[in-house]
A and B are shown apart, each in its own frame.
Chain A
Amino acid sequence: MHRTRTWKLGLLTSLIAAVAACGGSTAAPDSTATAGTTAPSGGEITLYSGRSEELIADLLTDFTATTGIKVNARYGDSGETAALLLTEGSNSPADVFLSQDAGALGAVRESFSTLPDTTLDKVDANYRDAEGKWTGVSGRVRVIVYNPNVVNSPPSSIDELLDPKWSGQVGFPPTNASWQSFVTGLRVLRGEDGAKKWLTAFAANKPVAYEKNSAVRDAVNSGEVALGLVNHYYLYEKIAAEGADAVKAKNQYLGGGDPGGLVNVAGVGILKNANNSSAAQVFVDYLLSTEGQAYFSDKTFEYLLVKGETQAADLPALSDLGAPAIDLSDLKSIEITQELLQQVGLLTK
């Protein structure tokens, strides 16, 4: 499989003057869909994935085995990938964008074609784009992760986080897309002024910035900070990796429509300029099939979004969470969120 790669590298290094000649011709080798199956339907799609290879490589292998469609997967951070798609413009080689986050999907929604109703109908209308540009595939809920050794009774709403007793004790990932979607949700639910008021007070309480959710979770688990604003599944990932005994941290679910209990989705959209939109459609439908949904439930501890699928993991039911009622399409106004975060000095704090 890597013969092409070696050959190309050799060519590149040996033929000094051949810059123009040595690229372009051969298709890039594919390291994800390794199953050498050339199934009947065949075809090939280029997937830009904001979800990590660790998370979905096996799913892609299953997909190729089932459908015979090869997947050239390009992995990156969801925001970076959205920025990449926007930078590439209409020449993008991507057929499908699988995003970790509704916000990133919103950012590129103008580049998506509209999905067919047969696809959209599988998913509860709360968890997809109102105009059918993209659909959610799996869901997650924002929680307060806390360390029971440090905290007896964790806050049950985001407003309790503003109490001076949590000063310097709350970890959050300022550049993370899920965090920013929470802030966008806060703006939608409480209005610009209400959101600004909360954020200003939050910033004044000296929250501690981390590069990403997992770092926040680890800081809470190690007792570096008492509380953290993250997604529910980071805890389950750590438990799966290190065993329940090794993990001290616990999740606090915020009910009663609290903005801190926002349910966000990972979702997918098909690019307007896709080279192979029919195969891309097969891929989207696979993600929403029983097989695809079971994968997310088992492997990522996320919530299933397709009606009628049963949750495998031991999670509080999606419908029992008391999550705030919000139109996920409203989470697309990320730039306004960012301006607000800039104003209150939280973007990189």
Chain B
Amino acid sequence: MVPAVIVAGASLSPIAYLVVQSTSRGVRPFVDEIIQQRTAELLTRSLLLCASVTVAAVIIGVFAAWVTTLAGLRGKVAWTVLFSMPLAIPSYISAFTWVSWMPSLSGFAGAFIVLTFACFPYVMLPVMAVFSRIDPSHEEVAMSLGRSPLITFFVVTLPQARRATLSGALLVALYVLGDFGAVAVMRHEVFTWVIYGAYRSGFNPTRAASLSLVLLVLALALTAAESQARGKQDKGVSPVRTLLRSGQSLAKVRALAAAVSTVIIIPSVGVPVISVVSWLQRESTRRVDTSDVVSSAMTSFGIGVAAALFCLLAALPVALMSVRHPSRLSRMLSAATYVTHSLPALVIGISVVYLGIRAVTPLYQELPMLVFAHVILFIPAMVTTLETAIEKSPVRLEEISASLGSSSVATFIRVTLPLALPGLLAGSALTMLAAVKELPASLLLLPTGWDTLSTDVWRFAAVSDYAAVAPPAITIIVLAAVPTAILGALSSIKFKSDS
């Protein structure tokens, strides 16, 4: 309880900065700043992008989850790994590769393409988790009653994944609102780009903070809508053995599924990877030093592991509270961790700078402060994953454990934790990935003189030296691909052995 409150409070701390900054010239200028025709246009553009990407990512994500679990395709693990790969590619790298490949791509279309293919795994992973543990007897009943497999899917299978889909959709929507890389490269004028411009060329932190607060309100509305739509708590689904569907004559469906999957994987993984590798061929005046790349990689890796670890520790009490002790308060605490997710990482970074240098001066520009920023940035994904994971561990087992005299801690360690372990690992892997890819907060908060792979990419891209961008960019993708592959493979394999 107390830890959950502390975590929720800490993740709300950037808002304190935003309120102070946006009203620094008084409330009236703050209101004037927001009530403008331009804000309405911004709002429309941002919401349109957000809605389009979310819908597209849900369609692709649910399809991918189906392909990798219920469709009965051969090489499920390989498909899962491939579908997870967009998580390994930062949106700014992906956007650069699209533009270098198709220079005319820009604006809404460009941002939509890059973000959709970057985000669908956020829907796929939680939905996969549900699909692979779904009770096949329901489907069998439906089909034995004469329902076609397709109708069975939409009427019986999909509704069971409703919560997971909604959680994933919320993550996508918040990701899109807060993304800077893709919209900046595609020059699509949504909130994040305008906020960024106000900071870096306007020295107008007041305007930036005011617009950030508008983004926050949007995020709040989305979060509230999602928790409303989630509805009542599901009972944990009992784990049952997944039925092998080898007997079904679905050869055509499978061939089609494989073809569509390939069509998804080419733009989401193929284009970025091939482009980045092709950059190696470009001319560079710079001799790329392997030891620099290795040292940046180690820094990125270390920060990623630290971020994942601390994020897990912070998210655990929040997720446990909201699932096992559902109440208004516990739901609010869980929602509180979501709130800052739509803020651009730059804004989180700036607010941690502002608060950190004043509150804990000795830690300023030291690693813990960067890790703190990363925890604020990535806790929503962790909480979502953990909540889904904990929900899947049956309450009854915990009740039995308690009735046999185990303390709540012992029950957690011996019952809940092992059952939630796959989700816990998945969440940690996702966080590590996100931290390795993260750029703006790292630029602001890294100890002076340190480099990460993402700051290397930024530095070389700033001077358009793509030949020099390639090695750190490829290293990010490879480094992130390893946990992504493990995550994908785990998601695919783990459930089979659960029962």
Contact = CB atoms under 8 A, between A and B. Distances in A.
Interface in B291-318: 295, 298-299, 302-303, 305-306, 309-310, 313
Interface in A127-161: none
Nearest to B198: A338
A176 interface: yes
Interface in B187-220: 187, 189, 193-194, 196-205
B363 A46 contact: no
A320 interface: no
B302 A91 contact: no
B203 A83 contact: yes
B71 interface: no
A13 B285 contact: no
A82 B203 contact: yes
A317 interface: no
A9 B449 contact: no
Nearest to A108: B203
A348 B197 contact: yes
A229 interface: no
B295 A5 contact: yes
A12 interface: yes
B197 A76 contact: no
Interface residues of B, number: 61
Interface string B254-267: 00000000000000
B201 A334 contact: yes
Contacts of B196: 175
B459 A75 contact: yes
Interface stretch (A15-23, A198-206, A262-270, A278-286): A15-23
Interface of A: 2, 5-6, 8-10, 12-13, 16, 19-20, 22-24, 28-32, 46, 52-55, 72-77, 79-80, 82-84, 86-89, 91-93, 104, 107, 174-177, 180, 209-212, 214-215, 218-219, 222, 224, 237, 240-242, 334-335, 338, 342, 345, 347-349
A209 B302 CA distance: 38
A88 B187 contact: no
Nearest to B361: A91
Nearest to B302: A9
Contacts of A52: 459, 462-463
A224 B193 CA distance: 23
Given A83-B200, A87-B353, A338-B201, A347 B194 contact: yes
B149 interface: no
Given A13-B302, A86-B205, A93 B365 contact: yes
Contacts of A334: 201-203
Nearest to B184: A211
Contacts, number: 172
22 contacts: A6-B302, A9-B367, A12-B367, A19-B310, A19-B368, A20-B368, A23-B369, A31-B449, A31-B450, A54-B286, A72-B448, A79-B200, A83-B199, A83-B203, A84-B353, A88-B353, A89-B358, A91-B358, A91-B361, A93-B365, A214-B464, A241-B285
Nearest to B460: A54
Nearest to A82: B203
Contact of A214 (B362, B369, B463): B463
Given A91-B358, A92-B357, 9 more contacts: A5-B298, A8-B367, A12-B306, A23-B363, A28-B448, A54-B460, A73-B449, A84-B350, A347-B202
A211 B448 contact: no
Contacts of B101: none
Nearest to A178: B201
Given A13-B302, A19-B368, A30-B449, A53 B459 contact: yes
| 4 cross-chain pairs, A with B, having the tightest CB-CB distances, nearest first | A9-B302, A23-B366, A79-B200, A24-B362
A170 to B, nearest CB: 15
B64 to A, nearest CB: 32
Contacts of A5: 295, 298-299, 450
Contacts of B463: 52, 54-55, 214, 237
A28 B449 contact: yes
A26 B194 CA distance: 38
Given A9-B299, A92-B357, A23 B367 contact: yes
Interface of B: 38, 103-104, 184-185, 187, 189, 193-194, 196-205, 283-286, 295, 298-299, 302-303, 305-306, 309-310, 313, 350, 353-354, 357-358, 361-369, 371, 443-444, 447-451, 459-460, 462-465
B141 to A, nearest CB: 48
A348 B194 contact: yes
Contacts of B444: 76, 80, 84
A16 B459 contact: no
Contact of A222 (B103, B203, B368, B450): B103
Contacts of B284: 241
Contacts of A210: 187
A54 B295 CA distance: 18
With a 10 A CB-CB cut-off, give which of B295, B310, B447 has the most chain A CB atoms.
B447
B187 A209 contact: yes
A348 B38 CA distance: 11
A322 B488 CA distance: 63
A174 B197 contact: yes
Contacts of B368: 12, 19-20, 22-23
Contacts of A174: 197
Given A31-B450, A91-B361, A177 B201 contact: yes
A8 B366 CA distance: 10
Contacts of A80: 199-200, 443-444
A10 B306 CA distance: 9
